[in-house]
Amino acid sequence: MVTDLGFGNESEQSMTRSGVRDLVRMTPDELQELLDGRRTMSVATLQRSGRPHLVAMWYGFVDGSLVLWTYARSQKVANIRRDPRVTCLIEEGSTYEQLRGAELVCTGEVVDDPGYVMDAGRSVHERYMGRLDSEGIERVAKMSAKRVAVRLKIEETVTWDHRKLRLGS
């Protein structure tokens, strides 16, 4: 569970819209339920040129924080070390009336503490592949040697759930 979902920090643009925008906005519990699902998250960081670097990532939770588990030498880690601004997108739905999702505006912190990296790896693996046995834990420990965790501090959220519009199926 994420302890600070960034609610109350909606962007000025989203706050100026009324009516439908307010109707489709998720509650904190609805956002947590979306995050708790086994979804892939689109993660955008900024390259040196200023262009976005966008990747699909599995994610986990450590100590109430949303975390990524990735190679220490990856482009996203280099980008976050230089500029910690990160924007994430989680969404689902195959038709307009089913669309729901969240944009999470974050600050990323690269964590290379071996214990934290292992916790992040274990969380990601267990969320997407089920409980780890002793062999699985050993595999995650080996993979963690070349990895870091990225702790995401959510500062702003924009959410939508078109199912609330009751447009039919």
Q: Cα–Cα distance between 81 and 144 in angstroms, integer?
A: 19
Residue 41: which residues within 8 A CB-CB, separation 6 or more? Answer: 56, 57, 58, 59, 88, 89, 90
Q: Cα–Cα distance between 122 and 130 in angstroms, integer?
A: 10
Provide the whole-model pTM.
0.86
Q: Can you tell me which residue has the tokens 């409980």? A: 131
Above 90 in pLDDT, residue 7? Answer: no
The dihedrals phi and psi of 43, each to the nearest 5 degrees, come to -125, 120
Tokens of 73: 């030498």
Predicted confidence (pLDDT) per residue in 94-148, tens digit: 999 999 999 999 999 999 999 999 999 999 999 998 998 999 999 999 999 999 9
Tokens of 114: 């071996």
What is the model's pLDDT at position 153?
Answer: 97
